[in-house]
Structure formats: structure tokens, C-alpha cells
Amino acid sequence: MDLFMKCAIEEAECGRNEGGVPIGSVLVREGRIIGKGRNRRVQQNDPVLHAEIDCIRNAGRIRSYRGTALYSTLMPCYLCAGAAVQFGIGKVVAGESENFGGARAFLEQHGVEVIDLDLAVCKEMMRTFITEHPEIWYEDIGEE
């Protein structure tokens, strides 16, 4: 596992420790993290503050997102995939997609390279959270 996914996992663990959904994300350009974030929907009472959105927001106005890669512990949903496409992020690296398939096809249809690392640590973190907090999880993905 590379440093960038380790940092995304650290963000996910921070979110979990805050009582939120354990999903973390980092934005990378030229081998350097320029933004990081975690799902803060619960903590901030904000329905759209997914990890990838938090990460992009924390990167700030960087003029162009071309040449960046977005790392996330879970395959991005349509909201976050839409942000990646909108800003021209060329690569998404997901820790896993077993617990949530996300919007991989959408990303690929829009020219984004998608890599699924299928990491046990990411799968277990989400599996545990979903088992312990199904009501928060299903709210997060827009299901009842």
C-alpha cells in the first residue's frame, strides 16, 4: 500500500473516532498531498460533506485539477464522482468497492482512470461500520 492510501485511511480513522462515517480521501499532485479530508456528514450536520468533497474543499482554489489523483478509502459515489469529473481530476484510486460499488462506470465513461486496490483494511473498516451503524450508512448513501 502506498503512502497516499495510508493517509486516506488515517483520515477515515479520524472520522470514525469523531463518530462519523469512516471514509477518508487525499488529493495528490506531482507526488505531494495538496488536500485531505474525511466524511464529516455526521460531525458537521452537512448532507454533502463526503470525504472527497471535504478533501477537494481543503485543497482550495488551485486553478486547475489537471494532473491530480484522488485517493479514497471507498469507491466514490455519484456526488463525489461528479466533482472529480467537473474539476478534471484524471485518476481515482479507491481502497475498496466491495461494500459500496460507487460510480466507477460513470468515472470511466468520463475519461477518469479508476484503480480499485481491494484492500482488506478498507473493506473491514466499512463492514464493521455498516454493521454497527446501518442507519447512518444508509442515510449516507441515500437509501432507506
User: Cell for 68?
Assistant: 491530480
Q: Where do the domains of the chain lie?
A: 3-67+91-141
Establish whether 143 is a catalytic residue.
no
Other residues' Cβ atoms within 10 Å of the Cβ of residue 130: 18
User: Cell for 77?
Assistant: 459515489
Other residues' Cβ atoms within 10 Å of the Cβ of residue 58: 15
At 115-128, the pLDDT tens digits run: 999 999 999 999 99
Percent of the chain topping pLDDT 70: 99
Check the CA dihedral 85-83-68-120 and report its sign: negative
Catalytic residue among 52, 98, 139, 144: 52
Measured distance CA(74)–CA(122) in Å, rounded: 7
Residue 111 CA: distances (Å) to CA of 76, 90, 96, 118: 15, 7, 20, 21
Residue 1 clears pLDDT 70, i.e. is over it: no
Percent of the chain topping pLDDT 90: 93
Q: What is the model's pLDDT at position 56?
A: 97
At 124-142, the pLDDT tens digits run: 999 999 999 999 998 888 8
Instruction: Kindly report the CATH class assigned to 3-67+91-141.
Output: alpha beta
